[in-house]
């Protein structure tokens, strides 16, 4: 994992159930913390809640979700890939670059892998991915830049 990725100690089990929606947000820490607590409470009450990946810094979100990576996400949402090589062929891209992009997206839990023999099969278990970015006014001429995600 890179130093900028979230701290996740394990992969979800292969049979993990995912909600239909993944929300990728860019909100300040306090607001995100409140949202996490609200979702946890709703989940404990049996309500279906989306998974959320939050970037406290909109510029980091932009660095992670590049146009090429968004193209990769869209392709996987349309159809899972049998292997990283098959996905690279489908996108007419270099296998190493696709592998590196998948690793970054996996660190942020946007894409997931299934192991099938020796092939890692990238897939996205969500029907919808919503990307929400919050920009706020600068205070005293300096832009608000909360701690990084």
Q: In this predicted structure, what is the pLDDT of residue 5?
A: 45
- Measured distance CA(131)–CA(133) in Å, rounded: 7
Q: What is the DSSP letter of 148?
A: P
Q: In this predicted structure, what is the pLDDT of residue 101?
A: 97
- Other Cβ atoms closer than 10 A to 65: 20
Q: In this predicted structure, what is the pLDDT of residue 91?
A: 96
Residue carrying the six token digits 């996108």: 91
21-133 classified as CATH 1.10.10.10: yes
Q: In this predicted structure, what is the pLDDT of residue 145?
A: 46
What are the pLDDT tens digits along the chain (149 aa)?
444 444 443 455 555 677 788 988 888 777 777 777 777 887 788 877 778 888 887 888 889 999 999 999 999 999 999 999 999 999 999 999 999 999 999 999 999 998 888 788 999 999 999 988 776 676 655 544 444 44
Q: In this predicted structure, what is the pLDDT of residue 88?
A: 96
């Amino acid at each position: 994992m890179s130093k900028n990725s979230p701290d996740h100690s394990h992969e979800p089990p292969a049979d993990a159930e995912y909600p239909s929606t993944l929300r990728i947000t860019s909100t300040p820490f306090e607001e995100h913390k409140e949202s996490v607590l609200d979702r946890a409470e709703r989940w404990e009450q049996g309500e279906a809640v989306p998974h959320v990946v939050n970037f406290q810094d909109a510029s980091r979100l932009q660095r992670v979700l590049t146009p090429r990576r968004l193209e990769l996400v869209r392709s996987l949402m349309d159809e899972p890939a049998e292997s990283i090589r098959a996905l690279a062929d489908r996108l007419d891209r270099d296998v190493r670059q696709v592998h590196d992009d998948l690793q970054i997206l996996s660190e942020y839990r946007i894409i997931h892998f299934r192991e099938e023999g020796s092939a890692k099969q990238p897939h996205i278990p969500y029907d919808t991915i919503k990307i929400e970015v919050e920009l706020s006014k600068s205070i005293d001429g300096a832009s608000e830049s909360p701690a990084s995600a």
